[in-house]
Structure 1
């Protein structure tokens, strides 16, 4: 696959699951999200608009979702390519949200991840980076996968 040389091809189970999710997305996309058309089932680019009456109203963001070979048994890698200022989103686009890591469940879908991210953004009241942003980003150079990071979920209110 072009652009995914480091990724292993999807298993048959993963490809079938993603095709099913894509069909469902096309029929009932989550409100506020728009998947950009692509030929690569393994990498989705999703545009998202800030919710009206929140601090992100009128802003536009973009997510990149890369699916591993054994999806949904393994979580996808989800990053913001255009990250909002948020206490749980690093300037390199990495997201501190437990369902993307140790709290992942195969029952979760791309749509449910999007809804969780929208909720995380909508409930935020302060536009700021995480307190450890600079140190974290410095330690993630060379495009390190956020799933390789040991997260310390220091705030479970958001």
Structure 2
């Protein structure tokens, strides 16, 4: 078990629980366009359907995101991955890990699940080609045994996609 797996099993703090309940209520009233929260009784793990935006490479395609919230959310970013099969995209690995700075270095407690989802949909929508990252095979091989994407030292160098 990795350290990220162990820490994700810790119960949510009172602040995290209150924040997530508030976000969930807001989501039910005004969900972001193109997304559907799959209702479960687990506040610490959300499964969200992502519908590709019309007029993009991903139009009429549906994917699933898994969002795992750490004990100290929103002070710490959630872990967000695509449930395989992940979309073919230059910043999405075949194991579902997403190379997007707001999920790691640029996380802010002001961000919400909705704002993260909108950023992911924007990233998908702006892709000029359906392809895996150049280092997909090597990266996925190194992630065996349950390594969290939060344990990766991401290199954010491509802001075009």
Question: In the alignment, which residue of structure 2 is the partner of 1:46?
Answer: 48
Residue 26 of structure 1 aligns to a residue in which SS? helix
2:82 to 75, 80, 92: 80
1:116 to 116, 119, 144: 119
| Contact 2:94 2:140 survives alignment (8 Å) | yes
Question: In the alignment, which residue of structure 1 is the partner of 2:22?
Answer: 20
Moved more, 142-151 or 67-76: 142-151
How many residue pairs match? The answer is 155
Residue 22 of structure 2 aligns to a residue in which SS? helix
Question: In the alignment, which residue of structure 1 is the partner of 2:103?
Answer: 100
Alpha-carbon offset, residue 7 of structure 1: 1.0
Alpha-carbon offset, residue 152 of structure 1: 1.1
Q: Structure 2-normalised TM-score?
A: 0.93
Question: In the alignment, which residue of structure 2 is the partner of 1:155?
Answer: 158
Query: CA separation in 1, counterparts of 2:67 and 2:76?
Result: 13
Query: CA separation in 2, counterparts of 1:30 and 1:89?
Result: 21
Question: In the alignment, which residue of structure 2 is the partner of 1:130?
Answer: 133
Return 5+ residue gaps in structure 2 as ranges: 1-5
- After superposing on structure 2, the runs of 4+ consecutive aligned residues of structure 1 that deviate more than 6 Å are none
Higher relative contact order (CA 8 A, sep 6+): 2
Residue 29 of structure 1 aligns to a residue in which SS? coil
Query: CA separation in 2, counterparts of 1:8 and 1:32?
Result: 31
Alpha-carbon offset, residue 31 of structure 1: 0.3
